[in-house]
Chains A and B, each alone.
Chain A
Amino acid sequence: MVMVRVDALTKRFGETSALTELSVEVADGEFFVMVGPSGCGKTTLLRILAGLERPDSGDVWFGDRRVTTTDPGSREVGMVFQNYALYPHLSVHENLAFGLRVRHTNRNAVRVRVAEVAELLELQDYLDRKPKQLSGGQRQRVALGRAIMGRPQLLLMDEPLSNLDAILRERMRIELRRFHDRVGITTIYVTHDQKEAVSMADRVMVMNNGRIEQIGPPADIIRHPLTEFAARFMGHPPMNIWRAAMEVTAAGVARVSDGSGAAWTVPGPWPTAPGSSLDVWLGVRPRDVDLVGPGEVADLTATVEVVERGGGDDVFLHCRHRDETLVISVNDGRALPRSGDEVRLKLRLDRVHLFKADTGARIHPSTVNGHAAATLAPLLVGSELQ
């Protein structure tokens, strides 16, 4: 088990830069998930941690050991590849034993360790089979077993569940997390699926264009996204985000309007001087929008286009508000609007997110439950969302 530190890592492939001055620390024993769209650099970072790629500059530390230029085989890491990458010509037993054999481990010790890992992952019955004779889930477990055979200090996983069908994927998510908790190994996991990130991670790192958008516990990022990108990427269904203008009044509150006639007063305090106006992204999660009845005050009106049932009690209304599609989460069981109906909506102002239109950065201090984020931040990281 080891703490991992990455220091100002930069990696370019020809003209495109995969990683730019990236620094991050992963705690000992942590389940750390790197998430982002394809091409965001998450896999490159994982490969650099494995030693399969050399960074152009910057350093990788495992504990006190600088491993930037260390061979993959000497780093004491285990890796699970997206396509499992099992040795197709070797049996499960030989696949598991490969690393130890290469390192000239004593024959008996290899046998004992194979038996141990096979038992841990319930592979005893398949030891003589070739990878071709295994199902996806079984291959997945062999790949995981092979990765932990040499008792690595760090376990790296590159989208290990993406080749499984939906049901198996859900189950393996729990299995992997349970496995991590039992073995306690520092795990760095790459995925493009925010759902996986949310359900498995101690902490998530949202990446985009080779840079870090935000690092934190998944619930933190969902409640308090620091960038417009992180806000859009994390959470399901995705946050509704549309363009608006914001003006800070003399009273220190922000007047936000999106040009449709709708306007909101969002309490501050705001860092910008009174009177200044700013182009912003206005964001609100589907569950933070309420349907209001005819008698009440509404923020805006929209037309329902699709009524999507989530399977359980959740129903998502996809509504048209000018050029934007807004998704609203409502509970089933009440009189639901139908497609084509006009609905009146009200935003929960204490859950509204504002990001600068040009940089996408969150405008501080934001409001979470009506408090300034600056004072809230430590609280969020600490107890509230564990």
Chain B
Amino acid sequence: MVLEKTRRRRPGPSGTANTDRTQQPATSPGEPQGRTAVLTLDREQSWVVRAVRPLVGYLLVVPALAIFVTFFYIPAVMLFVLAFYHWNVFGATTFRGLGNFYTLFNQPLYWQSLLTTGYFVLVMVPLTLLVALGLALLLREGVRQARGGFARSLIFLPHVTPLIATSIIWVWIFDPQFGLANFVLTHLGLPRLGWLEDPHWAMPAVMLYTLWHSVGLYTVLFLGGLAVIPQQVVEAARVDGAKTLTMFRRVIWPLLSPTTFLVLILTTVNTMQAFGQIFALTGGATGRGGGPAYSTSTDAVLIYQTAFTYYHLSLAATMSLILFVILLVITVIQKRLSSRWVFYR
């Protein structure tokens, strides 16, 4: 079966399939004349071109690689080293071994920040997934029946707005006295909320903003995923008697699973690292950070404060390292589990 396939894909003298690959770059003199145009051209090229040719690929990736190495990989490695030292910019650098970890694990605030992060992630990931998928399904129907392109742009728009600028606008929206949020609530006959100033409501407010800002991206991803589901397969299911719910559960959902998996990974990573909007919404201006009673102090926010408010750079490095490991573990677990429910065509 497999053999048959390979043979059909690369027509040519049988048995050359193996040698083909190794011989293509360097032209051997024994090659029959004019087998392909590319090979003929090769032979006419000067030795310079031939010498450089294998390196071209590397040369092309050098600029991008240089930037990544300088601004990402080197700092990342330095951070991992720093996590085991004591360094607060001004003083001497001393090796602490696991001392930073010991300090952290004895800090109730650190544990609280992990819990807050967990709260944020556990609510945001399913919420974003559901809302994005729901919007995508509605939009697809809209696109088919009338003009959904405009609505799609509207939903995507928040994602391209600057995080800090729109966060500040949402600070106004959440203003307990004059904000739009409470205006809407009172008109619905509901009690006013303290929003960003209330320890219980600060996090939901941040979540609301985050959903507004990010859901467009995931909606568009889902729309893409829906678009590649073959229409004929859906129609076949209709002829087979599948109604809306069955159709979704047994055809759409399984065929959409690669997209769902992608969205799952992206939302997890993005919410675990969320910082900008939290900082801007809860205390960026006041320098407090982390909201009332540290209610929005996620890991990322605490790392920022530790590093740039208190200049415990090494302690922040340790926290970053732990966050990295947590993210890595979660992603690996998700990837492992994915083989059970993600179907790649």
Contacts and interface: CB of A to CB of B under 8 A. Distances in A.
B239 to A, nearest CB: 5
B233 A50 contact: no
A334 interface: no
Q: How large is the interface on A (under 10, 10 to 19, 20 to 34, 35 or more residues)?
A: 20 to 34
At the interface, is chain B mostly helix, strand, loop or mixed? helix
A73 B1 contact: no
Nearest to A83: B232
Given A83-B232, A133-B1, A88 B345 contact: yes
Interface stretch (B48-56, B241-249, B273-281, B315-323): B241-249
B345 A132 contact: yes
A147 B240 CA distance: 8
B251 A73 contact: no
A88 B233 contact: yes
A98 B232 contact: no
A304 interface: no
B255 to A, nearest CB: 6
A73 B343 contact: no
Contacts of B236: 79, 81, 85-87, 146
A261 to B, nearest CB: 53
A34 interface: no
Interface string A140-160: 000000110010000000000
Nearest to A158: B232
Given A73-B243, A89-B254, A81 B237 contact: no
B238 interface: yes
A87 B233 contact: yes
Contacts of B230: 83, 85
At the interface, is chain A mostly helix, strand, loop or mixed? mixed
Nearest to B342: A89
Given A73-B240, A89-B254, A82 B233 contact: no
Given A87-B251, A89-B343, A146 B240 contact: yes
Contacts of A85: 230, 232-233, 235-236
Given A89-B254, A102-B246, A73 B238 contact: yes
B178 to A, nearest CB: 50
B241 A73 contact: yes
Contacts of A78: 239
Interface in B196-250: 230, 232-233, 235-243, 246, 250
Contacts of B238: 51-52, 71-73
A166 B243 CA distance: 37
A99 interface: yes
A265 to B, nearest CB: 55
Contacts of A51: 238-239
Contacts of A99: 239-241
Interface string B247-279: 000110011000000000000000000000000
A128 to B, nearest CB: 14
A102 B240 CA distance: 8
A50 B239 CA distance: 7
Contacts of A147: 239
A52 B343 contact: no
Interface in A184-239: none
Interface residues of B, number: 20
Interface string B152-195: 00000000000000000000000000000000000000000000
A73 B251 CA distance: 15
Interface in A308-336: none
Contacts of B255: 88-89
Given A88-B345, A89-B254, A102-B246, A77 B241 contact: no
A74 B239 CA distance: 8
Q: A71, A85, A103: which has the most chain B beta carbons within 10 Å?
A: A85
A99 B233 CA distance: 13
B234 to A, nearest CB: 8
Contacts of B1: 133
A73 B242 contact: yes
A52 B250 CA distance: 19
B11 to A, nearest CB: 14
A79 B233 CA distance: 11
A385 B116 CA distance: 83
Nearest to B257: A89
A71 B251 CA distance: 18
Nearest to B4: A135
Interface in A49-66: 50-52
A179 B322 CA distance: 66
A294 B68 CA distance: 87
Contact of B240 (A89, A98, A132, A133): A98
A74 B343 contact: no
A25 to B, nearest CB: 22
Q: B239, B241, B242: which has the most chain A beta carbons within 10 Å?
A: B239
Contacts of B235: 50, 52, 72, 79, 81, 85
A297 to B, nearest CB: 54
B23 to A, nearest CB: 31
Nearest to A85: B232
Interface string A75-113: 001110111011111000000001100110000000000
A71 B242 CA distance: 10
B240 A82 contact: no
B239 A72 contact: yes
Contacts of A132: 345
Q: B1, B233, B251, B345: which has the most chain A beta carbons within 10 Å?
A: B233
A72 B232 CA distance: 13
A359 B232 CA distance: 37
B250 to A, nearest CB: 8
Contacts of A86: 233, 236
A73 B239 contact: yes
A82 B232 contact: yes
B232 A103 contact: no
Contacts of B345: 88-89, 132
Nearest to B247: A102
Q: B232, B240, B254: which has the most chain A beta carbons within 10 Å?
A: B240
Q: A74, A77, A86: which has the most chain B beta carbons within 10 Å?
A: A86
Contacts of A52: 235, 238-239
Contacts of B251: 87
A16 B239 CA distance: 26
Given A99-B239, A99-B240, A102-B237, 11 more contacts: A51-B239, A72-B241, A73-B239, A79-B235, A81-B236, A86-B236, A88-B343, A98-B240, A98-B250, A146-B240, A150-B241
9 contacts: A51-B238, A52-B238, A77-B239, A82-B232, A85-B232, A88-B233, A89-B343, A98-B237, A98-B240
* Nearest 3 pairs of A and B residues by beta carbon: A73-B241, A99-B240, A85-B232
